[in-house]
Chains A and B, each alone.
Chain A
Amino acid sequence: MQLFHDVANQIKCQPLIDWKALNRPVVGYTCSQVPAEIFHAAGILPIRMRGIETDGMDIGDAYYGPFICSFPKCLLQLVGKGAYKFIDGAVITPGCDAMRRLDECWRKAGEDYDGIIPGFFYYFDVPHKAEGHGMEWFVEEIEYLIAEIEDYFKVTITDENLRAAILEYNKGRRLLSEIESMRTSETPVVSGSDMFAATIAGTVMPRAQYNEELTQWMASLSQSPPMENVRKRIMLIGSITDDPDLIRLIETDTDAMVVAENLCFGVRSEGRPVDEDADPISALAEHYLGESTCPRMYGRYKQRLAVLKEKIEQSHVDGVIMQNIRFCDLHGAENALFEKDLEAEGIPCLRLEREYGPMIDKGRLKLRINAFLERLGRGRKYASSN
């Protein structure tokens, strides 16, 4: 477990250092709609890019405008400072407008800062719809991406490699699901921050090593006693979060625990396996686009609401904390709709706006979270078991 926290809290973590020491390539990607299995199948380590450990915003602000989410700005800041010089490739996706503009901002910063643009720099054009022609487009995008990887890294990605990668990734997904059920159970044995650190680590660590760690962790969890003082069961949703500290803020010095989340670094995208029997590219496309529960998939609000309600029910959630990074309208607007619909069903909700980064507004957030938890104390829907 400690390894997961170490990985979650540092960009240049030990598993990465070990991987690079063997001269093996690493590719960074910016959105959970990029099928990591493709890189794994090519012997490349795919890592989800994070903005942690940022200690300034001079570079982020120099290229991005002022009305932009601080997450991609932090990424750019780190890129400009050379924190990602170890990657051999980068894949940019049009997750949201701020994210897709990382393409230009990164390339332009590359004109001013030496060596920050990796040799493989790719724009992966993910559509906003998964029906018919949207899915066809995405399948083709995956095929183009594979061809480019093969060409640049001089590798061959066969259906067989892809199937093996899917199996390896699914192994981790199944382990995570099992651990997740130990967290969502009425007597949880794993905290929200531990679970979140584990899912973040899964976006960075070599998969085999990750699966091994998960297996060991699961074995130790099955011997663990239930967590104490879990009286308020919280779900956390909203804008991008890759910092277990946000979860810790809810869980520390309170009787609350984050028993579920719907965050793109969380179990949201890691929880379900990819179809192992279908054509591998179609299966990946179906998983990464077809099953996406990200608000960038416009017109699917009702499905996402249904997913939330199901999780709330399954995890016995007492209240939902919805956060959005300032200028993240995707989550800001959707949180408002969720709040309206969930409150109407008697599920207490708290909406928070925050900045991404090293918890600069911790005091304010803590105050509001604690006030919300007090409100929950007065009329929880689910009785707590301990």
Chain B
Amino acid sequence: MRAAIKEYNYDWLMGSTLSAAAKFPAGTAKEIAWAYRYIPYFKGIVKNFVDAGPPGIYFMDLLAGYYQNILDAHAQGKKIAATTFCSSPVIFYAMDIVPLTFEVLTAIGAMVWKRGMFDYMDYCCEVGMPETACSSQRGALGAYLADMGENIDIVLCDTPGVCDTNANAFVFAAEYLDKPFFQLNYPSTLGDSRSQAYHVKDFQAMIRFLEEQTGKKIDYDRLAENLKEVEAQDAITADLEDMLMMVPTPIPPIYTLMIYAGRFCFAGHPGYTRLLELLRDEAQKRMAAGVPALKAGAENLRVLMCYIDHYTVDINFYNYLEERGIANAGSILTRNFRDYNPYCQALEGSCYGVDLSSPEAMLDTVAQMNARLPMVRSIRGPYDQHGMWLDECLALARLYSVDCIIYNGTPGCRNTWGMVKPFARDIEKQGIPVHIMNDDAFDDRVESWEATRERLDEFFTVRGLL
């Protein structure tokens, strides 16, 4: 790791960058134009979020708050839990634990820093992690392994579902930093009573573990509050999903990123409700005024990202979609699998409901909700098993009227690279063109953005889509 990088506390550095960026629009037009001249390396990303209007600006502020929570945790007597995006923060907020999600932090760093998260990723390899490990953890994790961020107190991950490399990164972090570790384990099936019962027992074991670590009992009143907030969030998300189904959609591609990044960081927290309200209100205003969602104006094409999006510098990917007039129907991360969403009718047993009637019912709710987070829901078992990845993609493709499906991930994802080829062939057999991107969603060194863009263009051209 370069000495210069080690000079700043990582959490402070990222949090300050985002909070400064969120203050940009407070200036006059002239001040903003001048300010941009002083941040040539950040201008691209700041401008993207500022141009996204109130939700974009609020999003930066919300994320700055995420880092601030991490920075303030110990002074407030709270524990910091390193965790994965496939583990809902609802329970952490109800237990006064501050979540720190490697994947989200890596994505933010990759979007914000001109050099991406390369230095941090490489540091993980310097201390022994395989270079073939997933970049989504290797990014932010590097900062904590290098002792540049706040001290992590607890490590918590999911197995399987998200790939082995994901779980391995957490195991590595726990052992390297010598921290207590817990894994949430997922059977290969979903929706049957046996796996439902397993989730609940596993979740209860996790709560016992967290109670031991924090010395505090779970506060069910607080959990109820958070779950009510989740109810509100799910309802707004359903509105946004409805709007995503409209052709043309009033939802710009970058909104889908905000929908899930906000959920991963702040599910059950009022800040996320506010973000969703802003997203919905802006989309409704746009619809009412007949303003197109895409910069290109017309919606030429609709894509479904069947896995994750592409997050490197300046969120070039979302701009690319905008410029080409491509609507993004969202990715595996966007959906929340609440039982009243239209896709849940087609994917029986795959969704969760909310029941606040008793502490047991609430725990059951959170356990089932957690079990339906993106990867642990869709790719936990054979992809062609009932309700899994193939069924899900085909159902979404129909509902969102997409023209094609695009797979994008990281080379570290053994779970999907293990079967994405036959999966793509099965989708193609249904008449839907599929493109497999060979880049790394978090690391432009694997394939430059320019090459990725060329390949996307080639796919759209060769398949006669654009």
Binding site for B on A (CB under 8 A): 62-69, 72, 94, 96-98, 100-101, 103-105, 107-108, 123, 125, 127-129, 131-134, 137, 140, 295-296, 298-299, 301-302, 324, 326-327, 329-330, 332-337, 339-340, 353
Contact = CB atoms under 8 A, between A and B. Distances in A.
Interface string B326-352: 000000000000000000000000000
A65 B130 contact: no
Contacts of B171: 295, 298-299, 301, 333-334
Nearest to B128: A336
A126 B127 CA distance: 31
A131 to B, nearest CB: 8
A302 B179 CA distance: 12
B132 A299 contact: no
A171 B39 CA distance: 73
A227 to B, nearest CB: 34
Given A129-B185, A132-B201, A100 B418 contact: yes
Nearest to B188: A125
A128 B185 contact: yes
Nearest to A64: B418
B72 to A, nearest CB: 29
Interface in B383-433: 383-384, 411-423, 425-426
A333 B181 contact: no
B188 A299 contact: no
B462 to A, nearest CB: 21
Interface residues on B, range: 35 or more
B417 A65 contact: yes
Contacts of A63: 419, 421-422
B169 interface: yes
Contact of A329 (B127, B133, B201): B133
Contact of A104 (B127, B128, B383): B383
B230 interface: no
B198 interface: yes
A132 B418 contact: no
B172 A65 contact: no
Nearest to B176: A337
B182 A299 contact: yes
26 contacts: A63-B419, A64-B419, A65-B416, A94-B188, A96-B414, A97-B164, A104-B419, A105-B418, A108-B425, A125-B187, A127-B187, A133-B202, A298-B159, A299-B182, A327-B132, A329-B168, A329-B414, A332-B129, A333-B130, A333-B133, A333-B169, A333-B172, A336-B127, A336-B128, A340-B127, A340-B128
B383 A97 contact: no
B133 A64 contact: no
B203 to A, nearest CB: 10
A65 B175 contact: no
B297 interface: no
Contacts of B434: none
A299 B168 CA distance: 10
Interface string B34-46: 0000000000000
Given A127-B187, A133-B202, A329-B132, A337 B414 contact: no
B185 A134 contact: yes
A290 B463 CA distance: 52
Given A94-B188, A329-B165, A333-B172, A298 B183 contact: yes
Contacts of A125: 187-189
B167 A298 contact: yes
B185 A67 contact: no
B205 interface: yes
B183 A299 contact: yes
A65 B418 contact: yes
Q: Which of A62, A94, A123, A125 has the largest count of B CB atoms less than 10 A from its CB?
A: A94
Contacts of B80: none
A173 to B, nearest CB: 29
B2 interface: no
Contacts of B129: 332-333, 336
A326 B170 CA distance: 20
Interface in B104-140: 127-130, 132-133
Contacts of B174: 299, 301
Contacts of B202: 133
A96 B415 CA distance: 9
B382 A62 contact: no
Given A65-B421, A67-B417, 12 more contacts: A103-B382, A125-B187, A125-B189, A128-B159, A128-B183, A301-B174, A329-B168, A336-B129, A337-B172, A337-B176, A339-B128, A340-B128
Given A105-B419, A129-B185, A329 B412 contact: yes
Contacts of A329: 130, 132-133, 164-165, 168, 412, 414
Going nearest first, the 10 A-B pairs with the smallest beta carbon separation are A336-B128, A101-B418, A65-B417, A332-B130, A97-B414, A108-B422, A133-B201, A67-B411, A97-B415, A333-B168
Given A67-B414, A127-B185, A332 B132 contact: yes
A332 B133 contact: yes
A340 B127 CA distance: 9
Contacts of B294: none
B163 interface: yes
A101 B425 contact: no
B164 A137 contact: no
Given A123-B382, A329-B412, A324 B417 contact: no
- Name the residue among B128, B182, B414, B417 with the largest chain A CB count within 10 angstroms: B414
Interface string B135-179: 000000000000000000000010110011101111110111000
Contacts of B189: 125
B70 to A, nearest CB: 24
A159 B335 CA distance: 47
Nearest to A302: B175
B99 to A, nearest CB: 19
A72 B419 CA distance: 12
Contacts of B130: 324, 329, 332-333, 336, 353
B181 A299 contact: yes
Contacts of A134: 185
Contacts of A296: 164
A339 B176 CA distance: 12
B194 A123 contact: no
Interface centre among B130, B189, B416 (most CB of A within 10 A): B130
Q: Which has the most chain B C-beta neighbours within 10 Å: A69, A298, A302?
A: A298
A137 B419 contact: no
A62 B160 contact: no
Contacts of A336: 127-130, 172
B168 A330 contact: yes
Interface in B339-388: 382-384
Contact of A64 (B132, B185, B198, B421): B421
Contacts of A326: 132
B205 A337 contact: no
Contacts of B414: 67-69, 96-98, 101, 327, 329
Given A67-B417, A104-B419, A134-B185, A140 B194 contact: yes
Nearest to B425: A108
A313 B368 CA distance: 46
Contacts of A339: 128
A72 B412 CA distance: 17
